[in-house]
């Protein structure tokens, strides 16, 4: 948001496009000059920081609703996930639809898997079959089946 010369009409066009395109996932950021780039050399950063932040907040609010609807459409599905990591009580996983370190995560409660004495770290790198049981704007919750 806030590329030099961006008008309110330009921004409205972007918001309308995002609503129509319905990206499953989308990230955005405000424009900032980077030393030595074409933009920094040829454009004056003419949009106030407060306007950039307001536009970013509005755009991401639109996207949050779209992302939530997409994630909710996955409720009840059975998916194969890769365990990437763990927290104190969760395995942090991803399916073929999530990119590591960029997209949301699929969180699987670890306590349901502790019957055989394994530690959470022993699951890292393994595939599990899970059912998606919960969703928010960014992450999914699942149970092993």
What pTM did the predictor assign?
Answer: 0.82
User: In the predicted model, what is the mean pLDDT of the chain?
Assistant: 92
Res 118 pLDDT > 90: no
pLDDT in tens, 65-96: 999 999 999 999 999 999 999 988 899 999 99
Asked if 103 and 25 count as a contact pair (C-beta separation under 8 A), the reply is: yes
* Residues above pLDDT 70, as percent of the chain: 97
Q: What is the DSSP letter of 142?
A: E
In order, the DSSP letters of 39-72 are HHHH----S-HHHHHHHHHHHHHHHHHHHHHHHH
Which pLDDT score, from 0 to 100, does residue 79 have? Answer: 97
Element containing residue 82 per DSSP (H, E): strand 78-86
Res 41 pLDDT > 90: no
Res 111 pLDDT > 80: no
84 or 34: whose pLDDT is higher? 84
Confidence of residue 114 (pLDDT cuts 50, 70, 90): low
């Amino acid at each position: 948001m806030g590329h030099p010369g961006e008008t309110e009409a330009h921004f409205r066009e972007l918001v309308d496009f995002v609503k129509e395109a319905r990206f499953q996932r989308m990230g955005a950021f405000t424009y900032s000059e980077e030393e030595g780039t074409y933009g920094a050399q040829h454009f004056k950063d003419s949009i106030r920081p407060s306007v950039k932040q307001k536009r970013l907040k509005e755009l991401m609010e639109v996207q949050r609703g779209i992302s939530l609807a997409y994630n909710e459409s996955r409720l009840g599905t059975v998916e194969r996930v890769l365990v990437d990591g763990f927290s104190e009580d969760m395995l942090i996983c991803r399916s073929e639809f999530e990119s590591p370190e960029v997209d949301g995560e699929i969180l699987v409660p670890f306590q349901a898997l502790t019957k055989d004495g394994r530690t959470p770290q022993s699951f890292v790198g393994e595939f599990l079959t899970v059912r998606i049981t919960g969703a928010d704007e960014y992450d999914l919750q699942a149970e092993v089946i």
